[in-house]
Copies of this chain bind each other. A is one copy, B any other.
Amino acid sequence: MFDNFRKYLSDKGEFSISDFDYIESFASIKKLRKKQYLLQEGDVWKHLAFVSTGLLRSYYVDTKGYEHIMQFASENHWTGDRESLITGITSKFNIEAIEASEVILFKNVDFIKLRNEIPALNDFVSRITNKNVLALEERIYANITLSAEEKYLNFLKQHPHISNRIPQHMIASYIGISPETLSRIRSNTTKK
């Protein structure tokens, strides 16, 4: 049940067996069917969520009713709503399972405690936060720099492991182009 999680953590930091046991004593498991929500707009998010299997998406719904995907979270990635978590305000977006998924949840208060008690965990969180910032900056750079086609190719390069598990129109949403444009891009590039 925690196999993936342990493997993931041992990859990322120096944890002892008792660290694992202790950390896991605060974890709870949530199984999600396809299309089931982990978080819905209007809820307050108070957890940290590690995806041990499956694939989720976070998306906003704009005033015209269109969805805009902010994040895909596959196995060994974290998801949640940082804004809601930090500020305590109600969430503006939804997190939904694209595939049946298993998620490990930590209450934020527990996790803060764990970070204070286990320096290796604290270091690890700092490190992935930093990596997260770099990834966000790269995404912004792609957004302001690339054409629709280049954005798509860049997406494939950045997310090779999950690109074939995501419906095309969701990739279009993530990179900020229309699904029709993406369809045409693909039929052009595969021709070549």
Which residues of A come within 8 Å of B, CB atoms?
A: 60, 62, 68, 70, 82-83, 86, 126, 129-130, 132-134, 136-137, 139-141, 143-145, 173-176
Contacts and interface: CB of A to CB of B under 8 A. Distances in A.
A75 to B, nearest CB: 22
B82 A141 contact: no
Contact of A83 (B70, B86, B132, B134): B134
A176 B143 contact: yes
A137 to B, nearest CB: 7
A173 to B, nearest CB: 8
B68 A130 contact: no
B62 A144 contact: no
A58 B70 CA distance: 24
Nearest to A62: B145
Given A145-B176, A176-B145, A86 B140 contact: no
